[in-house]
Amino acid sequence: MRWLAFSVLLSVGCGAGPETSDTGIDPDRIAPHVRFLSHDLLEGRGVGGRSEALATEYLAAQLSLAGAHPAAADGTYFQSVPLVEITSQPGSVLELAGRTAKPLDEYVGNNERQTGREVFDAEIVYVGHGINAPEFDWDDYKDVDVTGKVVLLFTNEPPSDEEGFFGGRALTYYGRWTFKYEEAARRGAIGALIVHTDETAGYPWDVVRNSWSGSQPYIEVEEGEYRLALAGWLHSSAAQSLFEASPATSGKSLSELLDMANHPGFRPIPLGVEARADLRSAIIPIETRNVLAKIEGSDPVLKDEAVLYTAHWDHLGMHDVGEGNDGIYNGAVDNATGCSVVLEIARAFGQMPVAPARTILFAFVGAEESGLIGSAYYAANPVIPMGRTAVNLNFDGLFPFGAMGDFSLPGHERTSLKGLVEALARDFSVALTPDAHPEQGYYYRSDHFSLAKQGVPAFSVKTGSTYLGRPDGWGEDRVAEYRSQHYHQPSDEYREDWDFTGIADLGRFGFELGRLVANQPDLPGWNPGDEFLAARERSLR
C-alpha cells in the first residue's frame, strides 16, 4: 500500500526537496504566549495544583483554537500521569564521616524508595564515575560488592578524543546523573552521592540546589522494584572534607581523585568512613498531565503514522525564600519559549487546506525538570506506537535575542534525515551549528531522549549562536550570561526588550521539517551503528 500513499504525497506537495510555505508563524504571535506562560500568576508552572491547571488549560485552549483536536485516549486533551510527590522534612539528618552535612548548602537528596522514613548506617565507597560500559571495556565497580553501601562518584564520564570511545568529546548517557543512580541501584547500593563541580556537571551548585529543593515528583515505585534510599548530590567543599576524613584518600584533591577515575585501571576505594542517615519524607500521591493534540493525516494509509512535536510545559514552581524575596521560578526561556513555538506550529498546520499525509501530533509534557518524566510516560503510553512515529522534533529553551544566522539540531546527523535537514537549512539560508558543548551531554537532558530510547529518530530544534548584525561572540556571551545568572533562577522572566525574530524563523524551520517528513513515503531511521538503532528495529517489529 506504500505506492498508494506515495501517490497522495504528490498531491500535497512533497516534491523532490525542501519547498517552504507561508506558515504565518510570527514573532508578535509567539511573544504573548511566552508572556502569559511565564507570568507570576502561573507560579512557575510547578507540577500539580493550580499552576499546572492554568498552564495546561491554556495550552489546550490554544490548541483548540489552532484546529488541533484532542488526542488523549479518553477523548480529551489531557493524558494523566500518576506520580508521587516527595518532600524532604526538616528532621532529616545526614552525617558523613561523623560530620553533619547542611541541607541545600552542602547536599541535596531524596528517598527514591518513597517511604516516610529511611534510617541506615553504611560504609562509603568511592567508585569514580560509577560507570559500567561493557562495549567500552570499562567497569568502575570491578568486582567490588557495594550492596547496602553508599557510593560516592563524579558525574560525567572518562574524557576521550577518540570517536569510538565514549562518543569522543560528546557525552553519552553513561555520563548523565540519572544513569549513575540507575547503576547504583542495580548494584544494590543503599545510596549514591554525586560530587558536584562546575566542570563535571556543566552548571553551578545553585542549579542543583534550586532543582532539588522543595517537593520532587517521581513515578510510583512498582512492586519488587529496587530504588535508592538516598539519591543526592554533594557540594565540592563537603566532598573534599569527606575525602580528607578518609584514611584512604586524605591529602588528595578533588582534581587528583577525578584524574584517578579517568583511567581504566581505577578500582573502587572503600573510604573507611560511614554515612549515617535518618531521612524523613512526606509522600503524597499526585497526578500531572501531558497535553496531547493531533491534526489527522490526509493519507488513508500514512495517517496511522505520525510526526511528533514536543515541548515541556513545567518549570520549578515556587520556593519559600523568605519574605521580600522572589521565589517564583517563572521559566520564560525554559520553557515558555518552546511551548509558544509549538503552539504556533500547531496553528500553521491547522491552517493548511490539506493536511500532510501523516498525522501531526503535539505533546506538551510535564515533569521534565524532574527527570523527563512526562515524556517517558508518553513514550510508554503513546497515542501512535513508537514504531509508527516518524520523528520527534523537540523545542526546549530557545533564546529570544534576535534574528540568527544559524540553527542547532544536535543529533539530526545520527539519523537518515541528515540530508533533508541540511537541504532545508540551505533553503532558509542558515548554517547548522553542531553542539558547542557535546561534553555536557545536552542530548540526554531534554525530552527527545525519552523518545530516542524507544527507537524514534528524535532531536531538539534549537536556536544557534550567531545573531545577525551582532559582532562575533555576542551570542555565545549572551547564552553564557543566561546559563550563569538566569538558568533555573527566579530571574528567568519575560522581558519586554526581547526580540523573537529568530525564534519565529526557527518555528518556520521546524514546521517545514515536520511537513516534509510527514509527506515522505518511508519512515526515517537511525544511522548504522547508532546506540538507538536496535530500539528502532524492535519498535518496527
Cβ neighbors of 270 (< 8 A, separation 6 or more) are 123, 124, 125, 126, 144, 248
**Is pLDDT of 154 > 60?**
yes
In this predicted structure, what is the pLDDT of residue 144? 97
Give the predicted TM-score (pTM) of the model: 0.84
pLDDT band at 185 (very low <50, low <70, confident <90, very high): very high
Q: Model confidence over 13-40: pLDDT tens digits?
A: 333 344 455 678 999 999 999 999 999 9
In this predicted structure, what is the pLDDT of residue 167? 66
Cβ neighbors of 256 (< 8 A, separation 6 or more) are none
In this predicted structure, what is the pLDDT of residue 203? 87
pLDDT band at 9 (very low <50, low <70, confident <90, very high): very low
Q: What is the CATH architecture assignment of 86-283?
A: 3-Layer(bba) Sandwich (3.50)
Q: What is the DSSP string of 386-416?
A: GGGEEEEEE------BS-BSEEE-TTGGGBT
In this predicted structure, what is the pLDDT of residue 16? 36
**Is pLDDT of 6 > 70?**
no
Sign of CA dihedral 462, 464, 470, 474: positive
Percent of the chain with pLDDT over 90: 79
Q: Exposure of 434 by Cβ count < 10 A (0-12 exposed, 13-18 middle, 19+ buried)?
A: exposed
Q: Model confidence over 433-478: pLDDT tens digits?
A: 988 777 677 888 899 999 999 999 999 999 999 999 999 999 999 9
The CA–CA distances, whole Å, from 257 to 148, 264, 430 equal 23, 14, 44
The one-character DSSP state at 467 is B
The CA–CA distances, whole Å, from 528 to 297, 414, 524, 534 equal 29, 9, 12, 10
pLDDT, mean of residues 51-62: 97
- In degrees, rounded to 5, the angle at the alpha carbon of residue 515 between the alpha carbons of residues 512 and 520 is 125
Q: Where are the beta strands (DSSP E) in 31-106?
A: 69-70, 78-88, 93-96, 99-100
85 or 296, higher pLDDT: 296
- Give me the chain's average pLDDT, please: 92
pLDDT band at 2 (very low <50, low <70, confident <90, very high): very low
**Is pLDDT of 207 > 80?**
yes
pLDDT, mean of residues 523-536: 94
pLDDT, mean of residues 506-527: 98
**Is pLDDT of 11 > 60?**
no
In this predicted structure, what is the pLDDT of residue 17? 42
Domains in the chain: boundaries: 2-67+296-323+352-372+388-400+407-495+513-540, 86-283
**Is pLDDT of 333 > 70?**
yes
**Is pLDDT of 311 > 90?**
yes
In this predicted structure, what is the pLDDT of residue 511? 98
pLDDT band at 238 (very low <50, low <70, confident <90, very high): very high
Percent of the chain with pLDDT over 70: 94
Q: Does domain 2-67+296-323+352-372+388-400+407-495+513-540 have CATH number 3.40.630?
A: yes
Least confident of 337-341, 366-370, 397-401: 366-370
In the numeric block, which cell numbers belong to residue 148?
547496602
Q: What is the rounded distance in angstroms from the CA atom of residue 294 to the CA atom of residue 244?
A: 57
pLDDT, mean of residues 354-358: 98
Least confident of 16-25, 153-162, 401-410, 508-517: 16-25
pLDDT band at 486 (very low <50, low <70, confident <90, very high): very high
Q: Model confidence over 84-109: pLDDT tens digits?
A: 989 889 889 999 999 999 999 999 99
pLDDT, mean of residues 208-220: 86
The one-character DSSP state at 220 is P
pLDDT band at 161 (very low <50, low <70, confident <90, very high): low
Strands 431-432 and 406-408, sheet pairing: parallel
DSSP H/E element including 504: helix 501-518
